[in-house]
Structure 1
Amino acid sequence: MHEIAKMMKPPSYLFTLLAFILFASIFYGHDFSFIFRPHSNHETQTLFSSPEGNMYKRETKREEEEGCDVFNGRWVRDELTRPLYEEAECPYIQPQLTCQEHGRPEKEYQRWRWQPHGCDLPIFNASLMLEKLRGKRMMFIGDSLNRGQYVSLVCLLHQLIPEHAKSMESFDSLTVFTAKEYNATIEFYWAPFLLESNSDNAVIHRVSDRIVKKGSINTHGRHWKGADIVVFNTYLWWITGSKMKILHGSFDDEVKEIIEMSTEEAYRMALKSMLRWVRLNMDSNKTRVFFTSMSPSHAKSIEWGGEPGGNCYNETTPIDDSAYWGSDCKQSIMQVIGEVFRKSEVPITFLNITQLSNYRKDAHTSIYKKQWNSLTREQLANPVSYADCVHWCLPGLPDTWNELLFAKFLYS
C-alpha cells in the first residue's frame, strides 16, 4: 500500500508548473490556454489612434481579451524600489548617459515606476533573466537609443556576475557583454537604418546628407545570424525631412544612382526588409524577435504647456496629462509600422514604449552628459540651446523598457 501511495504521489515538477500557471493567470487575468498556444502574427497587430484622440495605443488581440495592456498606464513615484541600480555601480554606462557624474543636481527622474492600468508588471528578476539567457545569444540591433536600452539591461544584470566571469568588448559595430558562467552574451550592433547606409561607422556617423542603400540588409544581417533573442529598433535616423535618399547600386560606384523617396515609403521598405530577413534567417520555434517603437524627444516645452522657447532642460517631473502626444511623434511613421506588421506572418513581439516615454520630459540627459564638442560662450549662457532632449539618463527610463521586455520575454 505504501508503494502504491508513493507511485500515485505527483512529481515535484508538477507543483512548480502549477505555481507558474497560477502566477501567469493572475498576471494576464485570463484562462490558462494562452500558455500552450503557439505565437501568431495576431499577437503583434497594432492599433494606432490619431494624435487628436485621447491616447496613442497599441493593443494586441490577447490584451484586448484579457483587459490588460501593459503599455497603457501611468507613472507613479516610488522611492522604495527606484532606482533599480546606482549609476556609480555600473561601469558600462557611456559618458553620454551618466547624468549624475556630469552634474545633474537632483535624482527625481530615477524615482518613477510605470504602473499599467489593468495589472502589475512583474518585478524584474535578474537571476531569472540570466537563467533564461543561459547558453544563448541576445542582440540589440539599431541606433543609440537601442544601445541605451542594451546598456540598461547589462546594468540590471551584471551585479549578479563575479568580476572574473564577465567582460565587455567592442569590435567595430558590435559590442559584446559576456556572462561566462552562463555561457551567454548580450550584444549591441550599430545599424541605425538596419539597411546599409553612409552612417554605419560606429564612431564617425554624424553625416547630414544621409543615404540608405536599397535591399542591403544582408550587409549587417550576416552578423546577426545565430542570435536567440533579437531586439530591433530603427526610427530616429529616418527623420531628416519629408524625403530620404535611396542608393541603387554600391557606395563604391564612381557614379552613384540615387533617388529620393518619401520618408514613409523608405521606412516601409526597411521594415519589409527586416521582416523578410527574419523569415529567411531565423527559426521562429527557437528565436524570439522584438521590435521597439520610436523613442520620443521633448524639444518644445510649449507642447506640454511650458514657456515658449524651452525644451527638456530643467524639467524634473513627468507630464501628467494622459492625452499628451507631442507633435514631434511622426504619426505617419507609426502608421507604417502598424500596416506592415499587420500584414506580416513573421512572429514579432511589439514593444510600444512610445506613449509611456512621451510623458517623461524629465528623464533626458539634457545638458548633463559628456560634450564631444567645445561649447561656445553663447551656448554656455543659454543651456536650452545645447540640451539633449533625445537620449535618456541611466538609471532611468530605459530600465522600464527592459521591465516590459522582461515581462513579454518570460510570460508571453
Structure 2
Amino acid sequence: MMITMMKSYRGKLHLPMLAGVVCALAFLVLLYNERISFLSSTSFMRFNTCAARRAARDATDGGRAKIDDMEEEDKLEYDADICDITEGRWVYNRSIKPLYSDRSCPYLDRQVSCVKNGRPDSDYRYWQWQPDECSLPRFDPNRALRKLKGKRMLFVGDSLQRGQWQSFVCLVESIIPKDQKSMKRGRVHSVFRAKEYNATIEFYWAPFLVESNSDIRIVGDPRKRILKVDSIAKHAKNWLGVDFLLFNTYVWWMSGLKINSLWGSFANGEEGYEELDAPVAYRLGLKTWANWVDSTIDPNKTRVFFTTMSPTHMRPVEWNNKDGIKCSNETRPVKKRGHWGSGSDKRIMKVVGEVIGKMKVPITLLNVTQLSEYRVDAHTKVYTETGGKLLTDEQKADPLHHADCIHWCLPGVPDTWNQIFLAHL
C-alpha cells in the first residue's frame, strides 16, 4: 500500500488527491493496529485500501493511465512501512554497474560465479527493481557498515540464504582495507569480520531451521531425509547474542510431496517417523522456530527478519516459452504483471503469514517472492558446479538434466534482496 503525493491544480480539487487523503487516513488506522513490521505488503496479507486511489488516478486519463508510467518525481522516498515492494517492474539500466563482480569479490562460491564459469551474456546483472510508487535507494556500503558497527548480523538457512549472505559481504567488502577484513569459512558456521567496525556478517547452515538427518552430511535422496519438526535447540544455541537475525527456509521442504517427520530423538535406526504433507510438516517446523524466537529473543536487543521463498523456474510454458528447456535459454525477465509459477507454493506463503502473524516478537518479513518470480533469466543455469566440480561440456549441452534453475548468479537478484533489507535497516 502506498500514499502518493498527487499534483494539485488551481481552483479544482482532483479526485486522485481526495482518494490519496482517504488512503492516508486508512493507513494511519492500519498502522496503529499492525503488530508486525513488514518490508512490504504480502500476497497473503495485502491491504487493498489504496485501490480506490489507483482507480481514480487511472480514471483521470480515461482509463489509460498505467502505474508503470508514473513519473519519477511523483514517487515517494522509500518508506519500508508503507511501500508495497511486491508491486513494480524490472528496469534495464546499463549505466549503473554492480558494486562487485565474481572476479573482484574473493568470497563468492564457484557455484554462483556465473561469469567466471563461462556465462556469455551479462544483461541479467543490469536489471533494477523499481517499485511502482516509491524510489528504492541503491545499496550504500558505507551506510550498511555504519549500521553494523559493533554488531553481529547472522543469516540462517539454506544455500539460497548463503547466496544472500555472500551478496551482502561482497556489497560491503570492497570499501574495507585488506588488512581490516577477514573470512573464516566453516562447514556449518562462516564468519566475515570487518575489524575496523568491530562487526561480523555471518552465515549458519540450517536448511530446515529445525534439526534433520541431512543438516551436515546431506542425504541426497529426499525420501530418506528425516526432520525432527519439534527440535531446534541444537541449531538455535548458535544464534544467541546476535543483533540482526535473518532466516529463510523453503526449497528443501519442496523436494517431495511428503516429509518424514519425527518427534523426539533419532532412535531405533531413525524409525518411527510419520509421513506428512509438506505444508503440514512446514507449519510444525515453523511453529517450533516461532516458539523459540518468542521464548528466547529480546526484541530490544535483537531484530528478526524472515525472507520469503525464492522461486524456482522449471517450466517455461508457465511464462509462454513453449520451446524452452527449464530456464536455460532465458535472457530477459518475465514482463507479465503478477506472474506466478509453480516454483512458488502459495500454501507455504499462507503458512508463513499465519505463523508469523501470531508471534509476540516483531518479525520483519522480506517479501522477495513476487519480484523474484519475474527473473527467469538470472539463475545459474549450466554455469555452475555440481559435486564440487564445474559442469563438463557434455553436461552443459544437456540443460534439461543439468541446468540449475534454483540458485542465482552473483551479482544478481540477491543483491536486490539486500538492497531492500538495508533500506529497512
The residue matched to 1:86 in structure 2 has which SS? coil
* 1:47–1:338 CA contact under 8 A, matched in 2: no
Tell me if 1:276 matches 2:291.
Answer: yes
Q: How does 1:154-303 map to 2 (within 5 A)?
A: 154-201=169-216, 204-208=218-222, 209-254=224-269, 256-303=271-318
- Amino acid in structure 2 at the alignment position of 1:43: S
Q: Aligned equivalents of 2:219 and 2:362: distance in 1?
A: 32
Question: By how many angstroms is 1:338 displaced?
Answer: 1.6
Q: Structure 2 stretches of 5 or more lacking a match?
A: 1-22, 54-80
Structure 1 window deviating more from structure 2 (277-286 vs 204-213): it is 204-213
Question: By how many angstroms is 1:380 displaced?
Answer: 4.6
Partner of 1:395: 411
Residues 157 and 70 (structure 1), Cα distance of their counterparts in 2 relative to 1, 3 Å cut: same
- Amino acid in structure 2 at the alignment position of 1:152: S
Tell me if 1:43 matches 2:37.
Answer: yes
Q: Aligned equivalents of 1:198 and 1:60: distance in 2?
A: 40
Partner of 2:72: none
Q: TM-score, normalised by structure 1?
A: 0.83
Q: How does 1:3-402 map to 2 (within 5 A)?
A: 41-44=35-38, 56=43, 59=46, 68-201=83-216, 204-208=218-222, 209-254=224-269, 256-308=271-323, 310-372=325-387, 379-402=395-418
Residues 406 and 67 (structure 1), Cα distance of their counterparts in 2 relative to 1, 3 Å cut: closer
Partner of 1:20: none
Q: Aligned equivalents of 1:70 and 1:357: distance in 2?
A: 11
The residue matched to 2:174 in structure 1 has which SS? helix
Q: Aligned equivalents of 1:356 and 1:111: distance in 2?
A: 15
Residues 351 and 189 (structure 1), Cα distance of their counterparts in 2 relative to 1, 3 Å cut: same
Identity %: 46
* 1:63–1:69 CA contact under 8 A, matched in 2: no
The residue matched to 1:96 in structure 2 has which SS? helix
- Amino acid in structure 2 at the alignment position of 1:125: D
* 1:43–1:61 CA contact under 8 A, matched in 2: no
* 1:175–1:189 CA contact under 8 A, matched in 2: yes
Residue by residue over 1:47-96, the C-alpha shift from the partner in whole angstroms, topping out at 9 and shown as x without a partner, is: 76xxxxxxx46547999998631232110011122323222110111000
Q: Structure 1 stretches of 5 or more lacking a match?
A: 1-28, 49-55
Q: TM-score, normalised by structure 2?
A: 0.80
Question: By how many angstroms is 1:45 displaced?
Answer: 10
Q: Aligned equivalents of 1:254 and 1:112: distance in 2?
A: 50
The count of residues paired between Structure 1 and Structure 2 equals 370
Residues 61 and 196 (structure 1), Cα distance of their counterparts in 2 relative to 1, 3 Å cut: farther
